[in-house]
Structure 1
Amino acid sequence: MLAADDIAFYRENGYLMVEDAVSAEQLARLREITYALIEKSRAVSESDDVYDLDNGHSADAPRLTRIKLPHKQDPYYWDVLQDSRMTGVLTALLGTDTALQTSKLNTKAPGGGAAVEWHQDWAFYPHSNDDMLAFGLMLEDVEQENGPLQVIPGSHRGPVLSHHSAETGVFCGAIDPDDPLFHPEKAVTLTGKAGSMTVHHVRALHGSAPNLSDRNRLILFYECRAADAWPLVGSASYGKLASGGAQALWDHFSEHMITGDMTTEPRAEAVPMRLPLPPAPHAGSIFKTQKSGGARSAFSGREKVEA
């Protein structure tokens, strides 16, 4: 459980660092499973439903940007979310009824693993209220040269910046580095030991530079919501679910409850929002969205995001 000062800090700043978010045994098991998945990627030559491949990936030298939906690749990723210190942090910040929005394991390969351009998660999936957050569980030590998460304190209480390309008008999943409301000089860099966890509010501005170290940067992300935060039309992921009908949507929400109970009474609040429409040509991941949508890089000058 979090201390009152920790909760107050999160409310004010929109982020938090939590040490020892899982036990040593849980961390060891998560690493074992993760490295086994990376090993299996040697047999993959194109990005698919499990892997997003980075430039230079090969059977001899696996290079990934992401393992998609890890909670579906191995049930232990789900089990540890429901039964670890993470669970208590979640309910302390979002209440007793919580659900998983999505999960991802950003591997960020050594020697230049792709940056994640500055963005607000809220831009990708606005809901009826913004009681939503992301956990970033470090499976290895994360230091400055690994391309750690950076966040701008207090930005979760400010506006939702445009994540649309000024050239094409499509959703590109990143803000313009020249936006006058973007203040990178205020950024805080979140490093930590394996087993530590970052927490950031769904509206907090954040990003991460390329991995310039000689080892993978393994961070397991869980994006979570209060159970009464319901998605608005426009999110690509829910659009696919909705095509299966109301029962498929209900089943999905039921299966993704972490703690507490479902509700059919969404809580609506007056929160700023923009819909992620029209979509980028390729929107299978944030990396593809930022590249195909024409996002401009804040980490390598002002050119467009590289392939």
Structure 2
Amino acid sequence: MISDKDAKFYHENGYIVVDDVYNMAEVEAMRAVVEELVEKSREVSDHNDIYDLEPAHTSENPRVRRIKEPFKVHPLYREMVEHPNVISIMNKLIGVNQRLHGGKINIKAASFGSPVEWHQDWAFYPHTNDDVLAIGVMLDDMTEENGPLLIMPGSHKGPTYDHHADGSFAGAINPNDCPLDFSKAARVTGKAGACSFHHVRAVHGSEQNLSGKDRILLLYQVAAADAWDLQRFNEPWEEYESRMIAGVSTLEPRLVQTPIRLPYPTAKHTGSIYENQRAMTSRFFKFDNNPDKVLEDAD
């Protein structure tokens, strides 16, 4: 599915975009399940184990910004991470033995969807080695206007930045204290069915969706089977093994010296990254949680 040249680009820049990983029938099937789950969100009024809601969510006008661990919510999403095209790509990026770490579906509502501040996934879940990545499955076209993923090329080779605010983990980098030039970020765009793959240490974020259409991105986090999550030491064996998606498991984690900062003390606002980042007083991305005003500004 990808060439050695493509894999080299990933290892040098920390990300790659691959077109047509999924066909449109597969995309439409995944999107249909999202629609079903959003419809069911009318029954909830606060965040729970499945939903992370926008501040303006109501039963009359449901606004879901995240569906948590979708592969546990519907079997289709477990099937799709084991797609032959996906496994083929990851074989070249992290090796043939692969374990699913987690996943989510981020929904940026039309003219409204929340931004995500600059961060590194590595700050949330460091492993014994960094052969860990995130797959971004584009269930809608990802354009310049609808809050695409922004990635700082080469940042996966640098330090792990401080993700704290006021003494606690906040899941975001203070842009005023970071030496990176965010104007040089790569904007990850593509058609529905394309996938982005970004390194766990790559600095990335996304803007508010200012377009008139929803933008849905299914994300999977996948690790090499010998990369052991440093925070999951009490995980039951059956759960650990159930997350193998390719190759063979191991009881001998591979240790590689990498820059690690622990996500402690834990976030003052627990839950998803959106909640964690509420503690940030210095932000890079603008956000107006009044959808009517955002619509006016977009005109």
TM class by shorter chain equals: over 0.9
Aligned pair in 2 of structure 1 residues 83, 300: CA closer, same or farther (>3 Å)? closer
Judge conservation of contact 1:16–1:198 (CA < 8 Å) in 2: yes
Within 1, Cα distance between the matches of 2:221 and 2:36? Answer: 23
Report the CA distance between 1:83 and its aligned residue. 2.1
- The answer to whether 1:228 aligns with 2:226 is yes
Task: Provide the residue aligned with 1:191 in structure 2.
Answer: 189
Of 271, 289, 295, 1:284 maps to 271
Does residue 36 of structure 2 align to residue 27 of structure 1? no
The answer as to 2:12 corresponding to 1:2 is no
Partner of 1:51: 51
* Aligned-partner Cα distance in 2 for 1:158–1:209: 23
Contact 1:175 1:295 in 2 (8 A): no
Per-residue Cα deviation, 1:174-219 (whole angstroms, up to 9, x for no partner): 0011124222021011111101111100000000011111221100
Separation of aligned partners in 2, 1:129 and 1:187: 25
8 Å Cα contact 1:52/1:65 also seen in 2? yes
Give matches, 1:86-165, under 5 Å: 86-165=86-165
Unmatched runs of 5 consecutive residues or more in structure 1: 243-247, 302-307
2:285 maps to 299
Distance 1:282 1:78 in 2: 29
What is the distance in 1 between the residues matched to 2:246 and 2:260? 27
Q: Would you say the 8 A contact 1:22–1:84 is kept in 2?
A: no
- What's the offset of the Cα at 1:2? 1.4
Residues of 1 paired with 2:29 and 2:208: CA distance? 27
Structure 2 residue 258 is the aligned partner of structure 1 residue 271: yes
What SS does the aligned partner of 1:213 have? Answer: coil
3-state DSSP class of the match of 1:228? coil
**Which consecutive aligned stretches of 4+ in structure 1 deviate over 3 angstroms post-superposition?**
none
Matches within 5 A, 1:206-285: 206-233=204-231, 238=232, 242=234, 248-285=235-272
Decide whether the 8 Å contact of 1:174 with 1:295 is kept in 2.
no
1:223-263 CA-to-partner distances (Å, cap 9, x unmatched) read 11001001224xxxx37xx2xxxxx5322210101101110
Alignment map for 1:200-211 (pairs within 5 Å): 200-211=198-209
Q: Which residue of 2 aligns with 1:304?
A: none
State the Cα deviation string for residues 63-96 of structure 1 (Å, max 9, x = none): 1110111001100101011124112112221111
- State the distance in 1 between where 2:254 and 2:161 align: 23
SS of match in other structure, 1:222: strand
Q: Following the alignment from structure 1 to structure 2, what is the Cα–Cα distance between the partners of residues 227 and 259?
A: 9
Distance 1:111 1:42 in 2: 20
> What is the alpha-carbon root mean square deviation over aligned residues?
1.4
SS at match of 2:156: helix
> Deviation of residue 108 (structure 1)?
1.5
Measured in 2, the distance between the counterparts of 1:83 and 1:9 equals 23
**Aligned residue identity for 2:285:** F
Q: Kindly indicate whether the alpha-carbon contact (under 8 Å) linking 1:42 and 1:58 is maintained by their aligned counterparts in 2.
A: yes
Partner SS state of residue 146, structure 1: coil
Q: How many residues align?
A: 287
Separation in structure 2 between the aligned mates of residue 258 and residue 192 of structure 1, nearest angstrom: 26
Percent identity, aligned pairs only, is 45
Return the alpha-carbon distance in structure 2 between the equivalents of residues 138 and 38 of structure 1: 17
Counterpart position of 2:291: none
Q: TM-score, normalised by structure 1?
A: 0.90
